[in-house]
Chains A and B, each alone.
Chain A
């Protein structure tokens, strides 16, 4: 069946901000869909609230709405655009849920919009567990024994029938939020309550736990002619019990015989047909009892998913792109296989390598969260690695994680060495981010395969593979590298041992190892991901390294630039940097330069093989990157050359590698200049020389030295380690006691920095005077080689200085800064950029207090805010930077109208708001601080700051209330300013509740308070704060903690807000912004507008 001719415009819904369980894999899928549909002549209308995505680039779709993903907003957009069809299957659970809501409200029917990709009935059957179980029973497939409950009492009745252990899963959830396993009635009661709450329809599935069974996933596709194919089979290293997003997973399936695999394949197709997914991609998860092969269907997603992104990268088969084509009527045989260009997409990819995915977690940033893995997904990112064998791919994946581990062998980083056997076994049995390495230690100590399998229930095939690595590691302990012959070298390198690891294990050094290896003639070879295991010629150069006989990199006579990506998503380094790298590829392509991408994150657009001319799916380590550069240099013919390497767009990851590169290859700002900005002493000297004020401070290594510095500068101070990401372990300290606690922790061998190497001369602790109540400002700018500057955007933060810039809301253009301050910000930024010799991007952070401008830090590289500035102003900032790095001048770019003459000051206001992962970590205090904890961001655009802020809040998932009751609990220092907030709330018709102290102050200043709230444990003074929030009778909470006091009381309030989904403002400035937002919304109402209209 050919392309449908009865539809011409399609609305695509994105997945919103990056949150745990829904990350940039949906930018990858949505971008693919938009591109392929547009290329086929459809008008594509896109809605997504996340500005850091490629899909929300104005060039990706015909019409782009950066608006909250909310049914009312979507209704407005649908009414305005009147598309023929709505495609909901590429924007994750968010898009599916939103579509279902629009269908329920009758919006799609009223407006005559057809839902394509998955019919609403199919979505319902797959997503509603009751319907799904019934559907599975229809086709004779077994699902785990279970029942549905809508109350704890109901749940307990079911639990009694099933028996422990029991797993609780809320209906209609995202990444397993609110899911847990209980072994007893007490845990069960708590988890059941949490689960009912997490479910949008207040329903949980209570199910017999099958923890310890083997877990599999099949990525399947179906077209309108009922042709079904399996794109990829995935086997989990971690048995059932750990969320698949938190599991180490491997493709292809390793331990199923063909008889079992084909039966599973038949089941998957039966599920697809019964659920009614007519076209597109889905995944079906299975559990298999290792003792008898019994197979249960766990779940299916009638849409593309994180696993389908992984499967696409693992096989070279672009599931999302093809799903979009199937949705508009094509059948699989009508679509060409991109990689071979000769064969159709109606086939099942086969691979001749092993793919391993390892998640990356952020527990170190979330004190109070237990780093134990379960059925609730907690990881914030993932890496994928490709090797010819499991051992090789596992070791490559481990070093891709960038957590200081060079491979599976622990070498010098062995935190398990001192554990007694029983403790160690415990660490092997309980799934944690470190379990893999505990397994290493237990195998190193000589545990038998049988015992490891018995205790952990990890498949023996995997354990045997790990044992092989340990055996090789033992050999390396006694090896003299200079005596190894080519065959011996290949044994180690083929098992994935990196040169630094071999050096550490054989008591040599990396340079010697690399030299000896190359002298033995053992060099990296690059093979190709081709969907067909070499059966056909692959035309798309998508490579991975291994150590085999020959390499498949083709020669080319074009100059090329290598772009180093940003590795796994983590808090502090996320999709924004992938956005920048993708833009680098776009800019270079437009300049007719060949682009080469190196990255290891399977979720991203950068690792889509069509983003650049050549893709190397490789760990971002000095050795791996050097081999790619060498291969590219070797592939240059006819005078072509590697022009350079871009290191400044991918965050810290490529910057760290910059030091290992030939300096002449680094494009743009020299590495030395980046170092100067990071080095406290040199940076201070520069500021002094060019006449900029910094908060006073010093560099210390010990508590004693810290006290000395503070004696001069006074409290409060900001204490932060150097060379960390996202304000890691950063704290504001108000007194001696806190200083002692913080410094003791930072300098301790087991403290916060232990894993990162602790404190040293080269990595000291920085202490600065903390400027209370200062306004923080971010400036993004580009400087060209001639010294010309373009200040692209000035962002005023909503939260005061002290909240990490990544967690703070900010507005563009700035709302309260005076002309004189703005002038100085321009001037200072230019001075810094000139002084550092920046060629490309620079981001400077300032604090403005009492009209005085202090410079906090400068980063001569892409910042987190680059995509936001680009969307707020319409200037493609990252591309501008790349052109400048390639020698184009800003004058030329102005002539081409790519860059405006002066800093753009849009007529509309854009607000960026951070999205925090607290709903995943119920025990973590939600208070914002200098340590960044947000996973993503949203953008709100409006004609006033208030409207933009309100939209951003709605986009972030906590929309501001229009009426009802607000609960205020203010720190003493906020009470004066709090009166005005309270007054305006009353004017807007809200009733007020307040804690005793706050209420007293407000009443004394003439503001009526309706409800008195007692402190926790002192309910006699009024209703208990947590109960009040739980009762659902509070629509917003303002809880600002005092800097000095213990925060425990407030913490309970804030956590209750997280659990009961009540918007909670933890700073007074956010509360003021919220009030403005509520007032503006009421006064003017919202309008939706596309970026194309706004940028016109």
Chain B
């Protein structure tokens, strides 16, 4: 297959040569913040994870698309990422579950791709320089350069409002009722909750008052894209809820909960994006291999009203906190695992236990 040439340029001017695939955007160029993901499987879940809104995802594993896509593995109704960088895009899908080739799916959903890239060089660059904005596309190099210079990162941007559900909806039939804030919630998260509870998923801008009106047994704070520091309004609503109802947060939800508890967040050099991060549950000592996708983290010195429950063994970053008094806990990583290992799904049981007993189980 002959594909048109395409060029990738980062904001610092570093350039890569490749070929265009997938969707052709207007003007032929797409921009966003470049991040990488090291997972060996689960590209569809990653691509459809709303947390990647505004970002261009580099897959470090060279062969992407091998097993096609299936609606069963969608994490949202559409991908929110701005583009994909891959080494090799499989034209063929080989798996009994799949219903469509990855490239057709991407084209259908408006996701541009650049293939044939030395993704290892790009990853090493992002590792040493941090997540960078940039652009890729066909056409004049000068155009791509300009787009790259003008591209913006995710700092200080509210991307949640783009991806949250416009209307509340309910799932599940458990005896307990929880309200799940959708800051960009993943389908697997909804499924894990609905497996145990009656869930009302509400838009990110829902007020604490309106949540209380739904009379939930607990509140869940979902993952989502972008900089938690840009989401002060949401934090305020959470602060209102803290102490009045048990709360469980994941990823962005964790950062917002921590902020509501008085902590601050900071941007990691290049974030955690993969399915192989070791996390220690500090109370049990057990190690979980976890799926992660975050660029921001909770600053340890800022944590006053909560204690650290989980740490990342690679770099010591806070991966979970608990505030027993307030019946709140949250984790930075993805226990729902879509994609990723199932090692931490026990946290949903812990939430269940918290709702039933008011106690935070620590094992």
> Which A residues have a C-beta under 8 Å from some C-beta of B?
225-227, 229, 233, 252-262, 265-266, 290-293, 331-333, 342-344, 346-354, 388-390, 449, 459-461, 464, 487, 527, 532-537, 548-550, 552
Contact = CB atoms under 8 A, between A and B. Distances in A.
A75 to B, nearest CB: 40
B314 interface: yes
A758 B152 CA distance: 67
Given A343-B313, A346-B289, A549-B16, 18 more contacts: A225-B286, A233-B40, A253-B41, A256-B41, A258-B42, A259-B73, A261-B42, A331-B287, A346-B287, A347-B289, A348-B341, A353-B62, A460-B92, A532-B276, A535-B60, A536-B314, A548-B118, A548-B121
Interface string B273-312: 0111110100001110100000000000000000000000
Nearest to A527: B120
Contacts of A265: 341-342
Contacts of A266: 342
A183 B63 CA distance: 38
B340 A262 contact: yes
Contact of B61 (A262, A333, A351, A449): A351
Contacts of A229: 289
Q: Considering residues A265, A342, A461, which has the most beta carbons from chain B within 10 angstroms of its beta carbon?
A: A461
Interface in B152-182: none
Given A342-B314, A343-B314, A350 B60 contact: yes
A389 B95 contact: no
B16 A255 contact: no
A259 B289 contact: no
B338 to A, nearest CB: 8
A296 to B, nearest CB: 15
A625 B44 CA distance: 40
B contact patch SS: loop
A257 B61 contact: no
Nearest to A342: B314
Contacts of A343: 278, 313-315
14 contacts: A226-B286, A229-B289, A256-B41, A256-B67, A258-B338, A333-B313, A343-B314, A348-B275, A350-B60, A352-B38, A352-B62, A352-B123, A460-B94, A535-B127
Interface of B: 5, 16-17, 36, 38-42, 44-45, 60-63, 66-67, 70, 72-73, 87-88, 90-92, 94-98, 118-121, 123-124, 127, 274-278, 280, 285-287, 289, 313-315, 337-342
Contacts of B63: 254, 354, 389-390
B73 A257 contact: yes
A537 B314 CA distance: 12
A253 B40 CA distance: 8
Contacts of B338: 258
A258 B339 contact: yes
B337 A262 contact: yes
Contacts of B341: 262, 265, 348
A390 B90 CA distance: 11
A535 B95 CA distance: 29
Given A257-B97, A534-B124, A535-B274, A352 B60 contact: yes
Contact of A333 (B66, B91, B287): B287
Contacts of B98: 257
B160 to A, nearest CB: 25
Given A233-B40, A532-B38, A461 B61 contact: no
Contacts of A253: 40-41
B277 A352 contact: no
Q: Is the interface of A mostly helix, strand, loop or mixed?
A: loop
Q: Which 3 pairs between the two chains have the least Cβ-Cβ distance? A: A258-B42, A258-B339, A533-B60
Q: Which of A261, A292, A332 has the most CB of B within 10 A?
A: A261
B96 A262 contact: no
Contacts of B276: 347-350, 532
Given A257-B41, A343-B313, A344-B278, A252 B61 contact: yes
A227 B315 CA distance: 19
Contacts of B285: 225
Given A259-B73, A354-B63, A461 B40 contact: no
A255 B94 contact: yes
Given A352-B62, A353-B62, A533 B123 contact: yes
A389 B179 CA distance: 46
A346 B278 contact: yes
Contacts of A233: 40
Contacts of B289: 229, 346-348
A20 B269 CA distance: 50
Of B276, B339, B342, most A-chain CB atoms within 10 Å: B276
A909 to B, nearest CB: 53
Nearest to A392: B62
A226 B285 CA distance: 10
A461 B16 contact: no
A261 B341 CA distance: 9
B120 A260 contact: no
B73 A549 contact: no
Contacts of B118: 548-550
A255 B42 CA distance: 11
A459 B98 CA distance: 14
A255 B64 CA distance: 10
Contact of A259 (B5, B72, B277, B313): B72
Nearest to B72: A259
Given A293-B96, A352-B60, A535-B274, A258 B39 contact: yes
Contact of B339 (A262, A342, A487): A262
B61 A347 contact: no
Contacts of B62: 352-354, 388-389
A460 B93 CA distance: 8
Contacts of B61: 252, 350-352, 533
Given A227-B286, A354-B62, A347 B314 contact: yes
Contacts of B287: 225, 227, 331-333, 346
Contacts of B275: 258, 348, 350
Contacts of B91: 464
Contacts of B41: 252-253, 256-258, 261
A383 B119 CA distance: 26
A459 B94 contact: yes
Contacts of A260: 95, 97
Contacts of A353: 62
Chain B CB within 10 Å, residue with most, of A259, A333, A390, A461: A259
A569 B352 CA distance: 57
A898 to B, nearest CB: 44
Contacts of A537: 127
A333 B280 contact: yes
A112 B223 CA distance: 55
A1021 B16 CA distance: 84
A290 B97 CA distance: 10
Contacts of B127: 534-537
A535 B66 CA distance: 23
Contacts of A347: 276-278, 289, 313-314
Contacts of A348: 275-276, 289, 341
A390 B315 CA distance: 32
B66 A344 contact: no
B95 A255 contact: yes
Nearest to B43: A258
B261 to A, nearest CB: 28
Nearest to A390: B63
Contacts of A262: 337, 339-342
A517 B10 CA distance: 29
A257 B67 contact: yes
A257 B70 contact: yes
Nearest to B313: A344
A585 B191 CA distance: 56
A536 B340 CA distance: 20
A229 B276 CA distance: 9
A271 to B, nearest CB: 15
A290 B96 contact: yes
B286 to A, nearest CB: 7
